[in-house]
Amino acid sequence: MLRPINSVNLFNIIKCYILFISVFLFLSCTNTSVLPKLNKSFKNASAITKGDKLIVSTGKIERCWKWTGKGFLTSEIKNEQGQVLAIGFNKNADWDLGTEGDGKLVSLNAFENDDEHFTSKHLAVEAEIHYDGLQIKYVIWAYPGVAGLRTQLWLKTTKGVEWEGKKNQAGISESLTLSSSPENVTAFGYHSGLKANYKPYEILTEENISEDGSSDITSGLLTQNKGKGLILLKESHKHTHMANELETGGFNRNGNKLSVTGLGLKPGDVSDTEFKFCWANWVISYSGSEVDAQLALKQFDRFRYPVHPNRDVFIMANTWGSEDAFDQCAYKAREENVLKEIDACADLGIDLLQIDDGWQIRTGQNIWLPSKKGPTKPYKKGGLPRLFDGSVMPESYDVYPNGFGAVKEKAKKAGIKLGLWHAWTAPLSALKTNYNTGDFKAYKLDFAQLNRKDALDGLYYKARNLIKHSGYTTVVNWDVTENPARMGFYFGRDCGNLYLANRKAYTIRSAVQYEPWQVLRDAWELADYMNLNKVQVTYQNKDLTPPGAVTDALSYSHGYNFAVTLMASPIFFTEIQFLSPEAREELKPIIAKYKAERDEMYKGYVFAIGDKPDNGSWTGFQNYNPETGNGYLTFFRELRNPDSNYTIALHFLKPGTNLEITNILTGENHNVTLSEKSEIDIQIPQAPGYLFLKYYQK
């Protein structure tokens, strides 16, 4: 029966309604499953929230996370075709730091960023989450139009609280479940310390990961399934023969579940004063073959570690590599010798001369400033050291009696840039002072021992501060010639290139002996998973090879040995003044023609073609520009190869494609049609021999 609504009933109804609305609004505002509104874009990259979902896209890959109240857990990763490639598998978040209880989402923002000009412009998404005793920032970088995303954790403790981590277990920074069982999961990584006694060695390690397997020596994972897949890569200093690494962890697989361990720091490294970064992770999608996966990785790498043509592109010479022993090498860094080298570099066409160890004050108040005098230490057996030409070093000699002024002025007049070597312990103040007085455009920081978080951060930020001080006109190149933890292959290249290995001619030490085929093989294997033009590959003056050295270097030509470096960043690890007139005559036209092409070459991506170099192969490199479909080729017929003709398959070019081929060194042109396997016929009449070609699709 209906009853009339009197004033008392009406009042009670209104009170109940207000109470209901208040409770609803309170619950809505405090509901941990609802994310703050976010709708931000930069070019074709975007970040939006929908309820408890965070969706970040580059236009080529999309990743969706769910806010669980304890962290962000991947819901799905889609490729450009909308296919789901992976989901998450942890209950709480993609990471596992040993935290317990709920997390409070303090902030969620997105903004355009370029990391203080150290990376390409991108859309950055940043979430700050507080746990009991630990605060984290979860940072996502989305480069527009690139098929990959970069994620990174930053950690800070709550004031007065110690974070214990996972208690003797490596923290997890990334975890995914592949949407279908992969045909293959391949781990890959590279070997630093090429002058150490790992010979014969392979710079590249690849290993298949079983369904219940792991890899603790590699930097990346490549998953393959019916022509599509994901690449996971840890942005760390790991290499495959590392000793005393800094919490680099590894990759674990359990069926379709993949996790990345190792944070790059320990609980004791985290403080309540500032956020400390953990190793970042890349997740990259691709479609096609393994070489398509390599291209996707290199394209992401190029955005993460861009090439700045006016700063990063050069042919370098170095004062260290002509001699074998320390005192003799250090003697070559003196002003008198550098002035001669500047003239020799200018004549040959080299862009930058690096002054290596031997120029500096080593002790006392003015350490790491240019030394006025340099004493020579007599050998223990008596007598002063001899140079490779037989002359005896003086007991004392001038180094830089008036500082760097003379070499700076001479270099400027000759159109040569200068570079400078330092040990990693040099203070930032000295690096800046030497930049100010010498206008050095490249630094090499050597001897690093980065097995502590404070050491890694101190060196990395010191390099960045030096580059900022220079107005972004100088670079810092990282030496990876030793086994102890240095910058590695996938960390720090936002500062400069990698200096790969000491390769000397005037030596009988097998660990550093220059062998052209070995240098070629290093570069050939690096080209699988690295952008080769971010690595300095060595040319050496083979004429300095002494009797008794076990090498075939003398059988190769100067042109061949320089051609090995063309797809990388070439470095003459030798004094230019000691090249013979015949060597200079051979090298000068090749250098000039390379420099005329290199701006275009740096726009492409380099891939290994042919067979693995072994001193008897047909091998080479293909430089491919995906925007034009055109590129460059270098072919090598090695010393012990008996065949003057060979057929090599090219990447990315369809069978039957018509190519116009130009021999860059001779100017000759001819047309070819690729076979049904996209192969090209090559002729090199004599071994060893090489070709440097340009190709256009007709």
Q: What's the average model confidence in pLDDT over 164-190?
A: 92
Which residues, 6 or more positions from 522, have their beta carbon under 8 angstroms from its beta carbon?
194, 203, 500, 501, 537
The answer on pLDDT for 323 being more than 70 is yes
The predicted pLDDT at position 382 comes to 72
The predicted pLDDT at position 162 comes to 83
Alpha helices in 306-444 (DSSP H): 309-312, 326-331, 335-348, 405-414, 428-438
The predicted pLDDT at position 510 comes to 86
Query: Do residues 139 and 128 lie in contact, with contact meaning Cβ atoms separated by under 8 Å?
Result: no
What SS3 class is residue 651? coil
The predicted pLDDT at position 610 comes to 98
Q: What's the average model confidence in pLDDT over 609-631?
A: 98
The predicted pLDDT at position 196 comes to 56
Distance (Å, whole) CA 258 – CA 253: 5
Contacts 24+ apart (CB under 8 A), 560-563: 560/516, 560/636, 560/688, 560/689, 560/690, 561/516, 561/519, 562/587, 562/590, 562/591, 563/590, 563/634, 563/636, 563/690, 563/692
The predicted pLDDT at position 161 comes to 84
The answer on pLDDT for 694 being more than 90 is yes
Query: Do residues 199 and 511 lie in contact, with contact meaning Cβ atoms separated by under 8 Å?
Result: yes
Query: Do residues 524 and 612 lie in contact, with contact meaning Cβ atoms separated by under 8 Å?
Result: yes
Question: Which DSSP state fits 33?
Answer: T
Distance (Å, whole) CA 240 – CA 680: 35
The answer on pLDDT for 1 being more than 60 is no
The predicted pLDDT at position 28 comes to 40
Q: What's the average model confidence in pLDDT over 177-204?
A: 85
The structure tokens listed for 540 are 């050496």
CATH number for the domain whose boundaries are 618-697: 2.60.40.1180
The predicted pLDDT at position 365 comes to 87
The answer on pLDDT for 517 being more than 90 is yes
The predicted pLDDT at position 5 comes to 45
Tell me the CATH number of domain 39-304, given options 3.40.50, 2.70.98, 1.10.10, 1.20.120. Answer: 2.70.98
pLDDT band at residue 614 under the 50/70/90 scheme: very high
Angstrom CA distances, 92 to 103, 136, 149, 184, 362, stand at 10, 15, 21, 28, 53
Distance (Å, whole) CA 35 – CA 20: 23
The predicted pLDDT at position 659 comes to 98
- Report the relative pairing of strands 184-190 and 618-624 from DSSP bridges: unpaired
In the numeric block, the tokens 């003057």 are attached to 644
pLDDT band at residue 12 under the 50/70/90 scheme: low
The structure tokens listed for 497 are 């290139």
Distance (Å, whole) CA 433 – CA 403: 11
The predicted pLDDT at position 14 comes to 47
The residue ranges of every structural domain in the chain are 39-304, 317-433+496-603, 618-697
Percent of the chain with pLDDT over 90: 86
The structure tokens listed for 82 are 């909308």
- Residue 75 φ then ψ, to 5°: -90, -45
Distance (Å, whole) CA 204 – CA 190: 5
The predicted pLDDT at position 9 comes to 54
The answer on pLDDT for 452 being more than 50 is yes
The predicted pLDDT at position 316 comes to 98
Query: Do residues 346 and 415 lie in contact, with contact meaning Cβ atoms separated by under 8 Å?
Result: yes
pLDDT band at residue 193 under the 50/70/90 scheme: confident
Cis peptide before 581 (omega within 30 of 0): no
For the chain, the average pLDDT equals 93
Distance (Å, whole) CA 584 – CA 256: 57
